[in-house]
Structure formats: C-alpha cells, structure tokens
Amino acid sequence: MQPTPKLYFRDSSLLEFSATVIDARSSERGDCVVLDQTAFYPTGGGQPNDIGTLGEASVVDVFEDEAGTIYHVVEGAGSLNTGQTVTGIIDRVRRLDHMQQHSGQHILSQAFVQACGAETRSFHLGARTSTIDIELQSPTSDLLRAAEDIANAVVFEDRPMRVHLVNEEEAARLPLRKESAVRGDIRVIEVEDFDWSPCGGTHAARTGQIGMIAIRSHERAKKMTRVEFVCGGRALADYRLANNTAVAVARLFSAERDSTPELVAREIQEAKSNKKRIRDLLELAMVAEASEMLAGSAESGDFKIVHAVFEGRAVEEVRVLAAKIVQREPSIALLATKNAEAARLVFARSSSLAQNMGQLLAEACEMLGGRGGGKPDLAQGGGPNVQRVEEAIRDAAEKTKAS
C-alpha cells in the first residue's frame, strides 16, 4: 500500500476529519482499518498513539508499517466497509497531553544543550511521566535547575512553534539540533529563535500551550543521565499530588508545610535510636527467656530439649531465641510460631551435638503440608496446616529423644 497522508503533520490541533476507508482486515492486533488520509497519530518516536472514534467504531490503537501505511485498530469494525466515508474524531484530552509532553521535550532538550552542552539521545513519553536520556556524566541540581529555568522562560514567552516540510538539501541548511533519520521529505519543528528539530510527532502551535515544564528526578543510566519530567496538565497534577502529600504530613506534625522536612528527619533519627534501644532490650529479654526455657525443660541424656509454639511471633525473633538457647548449654531447640495462615518452624542444636536439624525439620514440614531445610545445626521452614503444628513439634521432640 501507499503511505497514508498524515493530516496532523501540518496541524496537530486537528481533532475531527473525514476520510474514505480503503481497506479493512483482521490482524494479530485486532480488526484494522486503513484510510485514504488520517489525523490519528500512530505509535512512534517515543510517543504513544492517539485514540478516538471512526464513525461508530472505537479506535484503540494506531500503528504504521515500514511502507508508511497507517492502520487503525478498531472495536466495532462491522460498521466500517471499504469505500465508505467516515468521520474520525481524536480524543482531545489525550492529544493535548501528548502535544504538551512532546513539545516540552523539544524545549527541555535544547535547554540542556544551552545549560551544559548535553545532547538528548532518547525520549520516552510514558503514561504519567516522560524521560529523556542525555549525555551528561555528572548531573548536579544546579545544572538541572538551570535547564529547567531556560525551558520555562521559553514557555512563558509564548513563542510560535512552526512546522516546516523540507527536502534533505533544505534541511542541511537549517540549524538542526540533531540529524534526521528520515530521507526524502523531512518534517522539522521550529521553536522561534530557540530550537530546530526533525520530528514526526504532534506539537503545540505556541510554547505557552505547553504549560510549565518540571523536572521530577534524575538518575545515572548507561553512562548517561535519565531525566524524568512532566509538562502542562501533568505538571499541575504532579504538583497537586506532591502538595497534598506534604500538607498531610504537616498536619501529622501540626506544623507548617515547608517545615516538615526537618521534622521528618528528626523523627527518623529518633526512630533509629529507639530501634537500637529496642534491639538491645530484646537481646537482654531473649537471654533471660532462653535461660527460663532451659530451666523448665527436660533432659535427654547429656542435653536438654526445649520446645514451644508461639502465637503470632516474628520468625526472625524465634530464630534468635533458638540461637540463644543452644548457645547457653548443650541443647536442642524445637520452636514454632503460627498465625491463621501458616506455621513457621525453627530447629537448632548446640555445636557439640550431632543431630541433623535439616532432616528433622524437613520431616516436620511434611506434616504441615510445606517444606523447609537448612544446615545440620540450624533449619527453618513451615507450611499451611497450622492445626498440626503442636503435633509436628511433639513428634520432632520424640525423634530427638530416640536419636
């Protein structure tokens, strides 16, 4: 097929158009329709496709093949026939959003060139945020802020953004920020007195339509810097979310919003200190608990067997307790903790003993409908048959006595 004429090439604000169906077929993506012209943008260049309607059918995906033919994946395609004239309507909210993000990317990419000489190597327009990968080895907050300031100054000046359709010779005479990957006729987007870039995406007519450009974060990625940003409506939504979060945190402290970072930092430090104190106190408590459990346990030859089932106790705590028990004197600890969903077992022995805790625990876990294992001196596991955990512990204790 011939390349499909792209109406959005000259006017990205076009949201309604008429076209003739020249082909209708099924594909792996669903029922597809080809038109003699279209304003629907197909996925490409880091930008997702438009959605909308063709007559009574819903357009849920749009893609372009290597020949330049654009396919509209539709639901309700039974109402579309070859030769039929249909009205296409683009989803306005999605189109405006994509125009803002893509246009904002052009301005932000040029801003990084001017701020620190960092060229953009890739662009991705995501569902909530967008990213560019720039050639910047050592990103700093000052460099990012400088680029953000340049970009927003261009937005607030409401400069014209123009579309130029040129050939390769004409394109070579333009101050393009990057080379075109397209041969033949080339579409170039101009931001007046700021940026020239070859691009096939949808764009605003003036920079003021983009709205604020905000950098959310950055990270090092494959010897480059990945910059996450939002524009226009997304920037407003992001601000509202961040502000609501900050206000909610401030209310918890009965403080002003802008003072919460210091308060949160103080609370975190206090929590760390308290956590260390709790850990130290728990250590002392477990030493005492281990001694008490050993004192109340029965001897089996030259060692003691300590067994217990706890309700809702953290398995890590149970493992520490088992270690404290077997470190104090020759002994075997057969401990379990349970809740409504599962039981967890921890078996341990003193280093002077020879019993295999891994094998013993594996047999106990079979009774619980689960599995587990470990080393001969320490093993851990569990299973969902909570009602049999006491039986499993008793059985393990009897096997230990008999060994």
User: What pLDDT is stored for residue 298 in this prediction?
Assistant: 78
50-71 average pLDDT score: 95
232 vs 251: CA distance, rounded Å:
29
Amino acid at 237: A
Judged against a pLDDT cut of 80, whether residue 79 lies above it is answered with no
Helix (H) or strand (E) run with residue 226 in it: strand 224-231
Residue 309 to residues 315, 327, 343, 386, 400, Cα–Cα distance (Å): 11, 20, 9, 11, 17
User: What pLDDT is stored for residue 11 in this prediction?
Assistant: 94
154 vs 174: CA distance, rounded Å:
20
Residue corresponding to tokens 């004192």: 295
Q: In what order do the strands lie in the sheet with 343-349?
A: 298-300, 303-311, 331-338, 343-349, 378-383, 371-375
Residue 256 to residues 239, 250, 251, 338, Cα–Cα distance (Å): 17, 6, 8, 44
Token pair, residue 78, equals 């039974």
Strands (E) in 269-385, as ranges, are: 298-300, 303-311, 331-338, 343-349, 371-375, 378-383
How high is the mean pLDDT of the chain? 94
User: What pLDDT is stored for residue 302 in this prediction?
Assistant: 87
User: What pLDDT is stored for residue 1 in this prediction?
Assistant: 78
Backbone angles phi, psi at 304, to 5 degrees: -110, 150
Judged against a pLDDT cut of 80, whether residue 402 lies above it is answered with no
User: What pLDDT is stored for residue 297 in this prediction?
Assistant: 86
> Per-residue confidence at 242, pLDDT binned at 50, 70, 90?
very high
Looking from the CA of 55 toward its CB, the CA atoms found within 13 Å total: 18
285-307 average pLDDT score: 90
Helix/strand/coil percentages in the chain, nearest 5: 40, 30, 30
Helix (H) or strand (E) run with residue 239 in it: helix 232-253
Higher local confidence (pLDDT), 181 or 5:
5
CA dihedral 140, 146, 149, 154 (to 10 degrees): -130
Contact 136, 121 (CB under 8 A): no
Token pair, residue 148, equals 């953000």
- Can you list the domains of the chain with their CATH numbers? 7-90 (2.40.30.130), 96-245 (3.30.980.10), 283-402 (3.10.310.40)
Sign of CA dihedral 338, 366, 301, 315: negative
User: What pLDDT is stored for residue 77 in this prediction?
Assistant: 65
Q: For 121-174, write each residue's pLDDT tens digit.
A: 999 999 999 999 999 999 999 999 999 999 999 999 999 999 999 999 999 999
250-278 average pLDDT score: 91
Contact 115, 96 (CB under 8 A): no
**pTM for this entry:** 0.72
User: What pLDDT is stored for residue 181 in this prediction?
Assistant: 81
> Per-residue confidence at 72, pLDDT binned at 50, 70, 90?
very high
77-88 average pLDDT score: 88
Contact 336, 309 (CB under 8 A): yes
284-311 average pLDDT score: 91
183-208 average pLDDT score: 95
